[in-house]
Amino acid sequence: MNLKGWAAATGISYATARRRYEAGTLPVPTYRLGRLIMVGEPVTGAKAGAGQVVVYAGVCSSDQKADLDRQVARVTVWATSQRHSVSRVVTEVSSALDGHRKEFLALLRDPAVTTIVVEHRDRFARFGAEYVEAALAAQGRRLLVVDPAEVDDDLVRDVTEILTALCARLYGARAAADRARRAVEAAMQDSPA
């Protein structure tokens, strides 16, 4: 459990829990996992030499950075509850539609990473995730998805991102977002509710 959840469960404010953590006076063991402060003992159930378990969290734009921390917390708590020893947390702010995600590509290239844990499949790859999973499986590696259900809002966001990318090529980056927004609004008005 992360420090914020522990503070809420014990009835003290997060600010108080954070001060006690920094002073070293919390009554429970704690450890850091990336930027998160976790309460309890780290899970050490993994076999030696079994490879790294990495939590990957990503968002499309910098205005979603607040969701990034929440995403990391949810995925890390799920992974540890499933008895996976999380080696590290990798976060990235980059669109899943382009191939310029350095952290994501580094995970795929690193043979020491045997398990990648993500919240939703689209955080890993918008399109073609099945092919990436098959390639990982062929190497004895795997992708774990915390919530395999797709969200309807994600479909709207995907269409908006595709339209933005296409409009950027046609009209230039400046007008792309506006044209994509207007196209989605027009489609939503024309569709039966």
Q: What is the pLDDT along the chain (193 residues), one digit of tens a residue?
A: 788 888 888 888 989 988 988 888 887 888 777 677 888 765 544 444 468 899 988 887 777 777 888 888 888 888 888 888 888 998 888 765 556 778 888 888 888 999 999 888 776 776 677 788 888 888 889 888 888 765 555 666 677 777 777 777 776 666 666 777 787 788 777 766 5
Q: In terms of domains, do 67 and 112 share one?
A: yes
**89/120 same-domain check:** yes
In which region does residue 85 sit, left (phi positive, over 0), alpha (psi from -120 to 50) or beta (all else)? beta
3-state secondary structure of 36: strand
Give the pLDDT confidence score for residue 162 in this predicted structure. Answer: 76
Specify whether 16 is located in the same domain as 76.
no
Residues 137, 51, single domain; the answer is: yes
- At 51 the pLDDT is 83
Based on the fold, state whether residues 126 and 75 are members of the same structural domain: yes
**Do 100 and 121 belong to one domain?**
yes
What is the rounded CA–CA span in Å between residue 86 and residue 79? 7
Structural domains of the chain, count: 3
Residues 3 and 55 in one domain: no
Q: Is the pTM of this model over 0.85?
A: no
Does residue 66 sit in the same domain as residue 156? no
CATH assignment of the domain containing 120:
3.40.50.1390
Report pLDDT for 132: 81
Same domain, residue pair 33 and 96: no
Shared domain check, 78 and 110: yes
Give the structural domain span for 167: 152-190
Nearest to 35 by CA among 63, 62, 73, 8: 73
Q: Is the four-CA dihedral 137, 142, 147, 151 of positive or negative sign?
A: negative
DSSP string for 60-106: SSGGGHHHHHHHHHHHHHHHHHTT--EEEEEEEES-TTSS--HHHHH
